[in-house]
Structures are given as C-alpha cells and as structure tokens.
C-alpha cells in the first residue's frame, strides 16, 4: 500500500518502515499531493490542510484517514458518492485536549496571564491575589460528553467541582457525571445560570453552530468562565466579545476561533480577561505516536478486510 501524507507533523517519517509493503510519501503542498495520489491507495491529512482539489487524485477504493477527531472540513458526501473510505481519529484527543481545557480554566482562575505580564515587567504584583478563584465547589458544565468532554469532566471531578453535562442521548451515558446531571442538548439553558465554568467539547454540526450565542452568555453568572476547545463556530464570537466588554462573563479561554489564524484585528488579542492559544489543544509530544498507532490499527484491519476503527464513510 502506498500512502500520501499531507501534514505539518512528521507522520510520514514515523510511518516509514512500520509495515512490510507500506510505502509512505510526504507531500509538501496540495499540488504535490494531487500529483502523487493517483498512484497511492490512502491519504493522511488534517482538516486545516484539506483542499477539495485533493478529490482529483482520489478514486473509488481509496482511503482517507483524518488526523483529527472533528471532520466538518471534509466532504464526506463526496467521499461516499465516489466510493472512498473515510475515518477520523476520534479517541486520540481526550487526554491532551482535556488537559488544555483545564490549563486555560486554571490560567484564568489563578491569574496566570496577569502574573506573566508582571514577570516580564519585573513587577511584584501581589494585588492579583484579590482576584483569584479556586475551582473546588464550583459548577462545571461540559457541553458534549464525548471522549474529550468526558476527560474534561473527570479532571473537573478531581478538582472537587459539581458536574453537569450535555449529550445527545443521555440515556446512553456511562461516565463520571452523576445521574440526573446529564442533560439532552436542548437542556443546556436549564443549568447555565448556575454554571461557573462552561467547557465546550461538542462537535461542530448544524445544531451546535452558534450554540453559545448572546442569550446563552447572558444566562451565565457574571463570574463565569467560558473555555472552548471544540470548534470556533460553536460560539458566536461577536457575542462573546460583547459579553466580555459588558461584564456579562468574567473571562474566556479559547483554543479555537471562527476564523483561523485569528485575524490581527480581532479584539480578543488585547483583552486581559482572555487567554488564547493557536488551536494546539490536541497537540503534545505523544501526538505522532498516538496517530501512528491508530493508523496502523486501521491499516492492519483494512488489509485483513475487517471493519476499520472510526470509519465515517
């Protein structure tokens, strides 16, 4: 099998030599990938680098393996119509993204940004202590109790937080959020007024797009923190900026944005009540190893004519 890898991490290098008969080519551009795909059987690509021109090099029987859990950027209907298999990397991101969500929450709660600014100025600013909060006893609401959301909830429980969460089918939930605290998606509004930390981990769908809008933000306490490690479009970004400016919420930790890279003109850059990171929540030193393990599992399953893990199409 020949695999074309279109990615910004050394996945091609890590895959090379892992299986007899597996040939790996790293494509440095979309044009190179399109050129090499007709002679290949599979494509490894992340959503940021997906380009519909890649369809020109794919044909029936090929396999596209996404390196992401989310797949809104991929033309799954086109894959289905063309007879192209497609699988994602769900299950690979729970630990790092949950860690990142809590890092953003703790950074806001414990004034890390302000302390870092003071450090650069060599200023001993103990006044920051008057603004710090602790997480124990506070209420964490996780929107989307999938793999990532469940990992966030487990960490919240470790901090002694009261847990709520949403899931499309609450009756199928098995996790750490207590009975009666797992709500259907349309039950989120019921718990927003008592939510101290709102963590977004829901996939981007037509239902979740703009889910956290002006009314949802207004329903939160003024002391609430919002953390988004899902997709930027889950929050109405203009409404978020307005809520921060008017003091409707206390702060936001954001790893994802409606437009990426975040435009230089965005007011989010300059806000002291915002911590932002450049969509790296799923990255870690274990990123490549985790993905290679998943790819090889699917490679072996495909060779054995068995069903693949995380197959979407």
For the chain, give every domain's residue range: 2-92+284-303, 94-276
pLDDT digits (tens, 9 = 90+) for 23-38: 999 999 999 999 999 9
pLDDT for 196: 98
pTM of the model: 0.93
The answer to whether residues 76 and 261 touch, using CB atoms and an 8 Å cutoff, is no
Fold of 2-92+284-303: Rossmann fold (3.40.50)
pLDDT for 50: 98
177 closest CA partner among 206, 210, 153: 153
Task: Classify residue 144 as left (phi > 0), alpha (psi -120 to 50) or beta.
Answer: left
Residues 69, 92: Cα–Cα separation, whole Å: 8
pLDDT for 288: 97
Contacts of 162 (CB under 8 A, 6+ apart): 137, 138, 139, 140
For residues 250-254, average pLDDT: 98
Cite the beta strand spans of 144-206 per DSSP E: 162-166, 182-183, 197-200
| Confidence tier at 190 by pLDDT (50, 70, 90) | very high
Contacts of 237 (CB under 8 A, 6+ apart): 257, 258, 268
Residues 247, 221: Cα–Cα separation, whole Å: 10
Residues 163, 177: Cα–Cα separation, whole Å: 6
| Confidence tier at 19 by pLDDT (50, 70, 90) | very high
Residue with tokens 């930790």: 253
Cite the beta strand spans of 126-246 per DSSP E: 139-143, 162-166, 182-183, 197-200, 225-228
- Name the token pair of 230: 């899902």
pLDDT digits (tens, 9 = 90+) for 88-112: 999 999 999 999 999 999 999 999 9
Residues 307, 70: Cα–Cα separation, whole Å: 20
pLDDT digits (tens, 9 = 90+) for 46-63: 999 999 999 999 999 999
Q: Do domains 2-92+284-303 and 94-276 have the same CATH topology?
A: yes
Sign of CA dihedral 53, 54, 57, 62: negative
> What average pLDDT is seen over the chain?
97
What residues are annotated to the active site?
231, 260, 279
Residues 164, 177: Cα–Cα separation, whole Å: 6
CATH class for the region spanning 94-276: alpha beta
pLDDT for 150: 98
| Confidence tier at 242 by pLDDT (50, 70, 90) | very high
């Amino acid at each position: 099998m020949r695999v074309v890898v279109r990615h910004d991490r050394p996945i091609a290098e890590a895959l090379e030599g892992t299986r007899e008969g597996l040939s790996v080519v790293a494509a440095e551009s979309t044009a190179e990938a399109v050129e090499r795909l007709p002679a290949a059987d599979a494509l490894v690509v992340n959503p940021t680098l997906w380009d519909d021109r890649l369809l020109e090099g794919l044909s029936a029987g090929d396999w596209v393996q996404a390196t992401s859990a989310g797949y809104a950027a991929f033309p799954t209907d086109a894959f289905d119509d063309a007879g192209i298999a497609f699988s994602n990397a769900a299950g690979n991101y729970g630990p790092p993204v949950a860690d990142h969500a809590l890092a953003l929450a703790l950074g806001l709660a414990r004034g890390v940004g302000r302390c870092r600014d003071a450090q650069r100025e060599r200023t001993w600013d103990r006044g920051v202590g008057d603004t710090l909060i602790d997480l124990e006893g506070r209420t964490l609401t996780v929107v989307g109790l999938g793999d990532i959301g469940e990992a966030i909830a487990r960490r919240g429980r470790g901090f002694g937080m009261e847990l709520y969460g949403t899931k499309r089918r609450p009756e199928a939930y098995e996790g750490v959020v207590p009975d009666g605290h797992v709500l259907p998606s349309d039950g989120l509004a019921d718990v927003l007024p008592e939510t101290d930390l709102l963590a977004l981990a829901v996939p981007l769908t037509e239902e979740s797009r703009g889910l956290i809008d002006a009314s949802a933000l207004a329903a939160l306490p003024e002391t609430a923190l919002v953390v988004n490690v899902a997709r930027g479009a889950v929050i109405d970004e203009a409404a978020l900026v307005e809520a921060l400016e008017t003091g409707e919420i206390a702060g936001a930790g954001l790893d994802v944005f409606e437009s990426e890279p975040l435009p230089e003109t965005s007011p989010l850059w300059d806000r002291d009540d915002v911590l932002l990171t450049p969509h790296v929540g799923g990255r870690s030193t274990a990123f490549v190893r985790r993905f290679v393990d998943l790819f090889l599992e699917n490679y072996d399953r495909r060779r054995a004519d068995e069903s693949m893990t995380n197959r979407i199409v």
